[in-house]
Chain A
Amino acid sequence: EVQLVESGGGLVQPGGSLRLSCAVSGFIFSNYPMQWVRQAPGKGLEYVSAISSDGDRTYYADSVKGRFTISRDSSKNTLYLQMGSLRPEDMAVYYCAKVYATGIYYLDYWGQGTLVTVSS
């Protein structure tokens, strides 16, 4: 059974940092690209970042470029999102999701999400 479990969310002050983790199981992690998608309270879905299966290529939404860093550790079957210079508009539930395959970027499995609150 495929499982993705996010952790690391919480309350952080504007300008602060946070690292999200996503532990995966049930599939060969190193074979698949991964994404982070976020959802602000009461709003729709927004692509945040993606990483290739080997970790060599990373992609970011313009809204987070230069502030967030995506990475992965295949030895731990874990995806990460290092978030810095956080702003109130970054407040959202952050989901990690498995990409179907390289070049075919729909998301076939999602985690349950972790809430990031940015407030003073």
Chain B
Amino acid sequence: EIVMTQSPATLSASPGERATLSCRASQSVSSKLAWYQQKPGQAPRLLFYGASTRVTGFPARFSGSGSGTEFTLTISSLQSEDFAVYYCQQYNNWPPTFGGGTKVEIK
């Protein structure tokens, strides 16, 4: 089973700041990496697939990059609605596995 490790566990930032979230796979997952956003009391919501393809409805300040074992989710200028928990998930190997999440909180 591929282990997904996200860092940091918590990121404290102010509105307008840039946020960089990392996700590392224990072995290569090619570009088969998804990101999800989860707000308190809500279900997760697909944000990216294929490592860098942003889902319709999310603004361009969100970007995804990486391949192999190293991936990054960047929020260029944090808005109030972006404070949430973000999870990465690999779907290259069975079973699909999630990272532990990064909580983006207001500083």
Q: Within 8 Å of chain B (Cβ to Cβ): is A41?
A: no
Q: Is the interface of A mostly helix, strand, loop or mixed?
A: strand
Q: Within 8 Å of chain A (Cβ to Cβ): is B23?
A: no
Residue of B42, B46, B49, B99 contacting most chain A CB atoms (<10 Å):
B46
Q: Within 8 Å of chain B (Cβ to Cβ): is A46?
A: yes
Task: Please indicate the chain B residues that have their CB under 8 angstroms from the CB of A50 in the complex.
Answer: 95
B100 contacts A59, C-beta separation under 8 Å: no
Residues A106 and B34 in contact in the complex (CB < 8 Å), given A44-B87, A44-B100, A46-B98? yes
In residues 47-77 of chain B, which contact A (Cβ within 8 Å)?
Answer: 49, 55
Indicate which residue in B43, B87, B94, B95 contacts A111 across the interface (CB closer than 8 Å): B43
Bound Cα distance from A116 to B43, whole angstroms: 15
Interface string of A59-103 (1 = CB under 8 A from B): 101000000000000000000000000000000000100001000
- The count of chain A contact residues (Cβ–Cβ below 8 Å) is 20
A106 contacts B89, C-beta separation under 8 Å: yes
Task: Please indicate the chain A residues that have their CB under 8 angstroms from the CB of B99 in the complex.
Answer: 44
In residues 1-57 of chain B, which contact A (Cβ within 8 Å)?
Answer: 32, 34, 36, 42-46, 49, 55
Query: What's the interface size class on B, roughly?
Result: 20 to 34
Bound Cα distance from A35 to B99, whole angstroms: 17
Task: Please indicate the chain B residues that have their CB under 8 angstroms from the CB of A107 in the complex.
Answer: 34, 36, 44, 46, 89
Would you give 28 A-B contacts (Cβ < 8 Å), ordered by A? A44-B87, A44-B100, A45-B36, A45-B44, A45-B87, A45-B98, A45-B101, A46-B98, A47-B96, A47-B97, A47-B98, A59-B94, A59-B95, A100-B49, A104-B91, A105-B96, A106-B32, A106-B34, A106-B89, A106-B96, A107-B34, A107-B46, A107-B89, A109-B46, A110-B43, A110-B44, A112-B42, A112-B43
Additional pairs, 15, CB under 8 Å, beyond known A45-B36, A59-B94, A106-B46: A35-B96, A44-B87, A45-B44, A45-B87, A46-B98, A47-B96, A47-B97, A47-B98, A61-B95, A104-B32, A104-B91, A106-B34, A106-B91, A108-B49, A109-B46
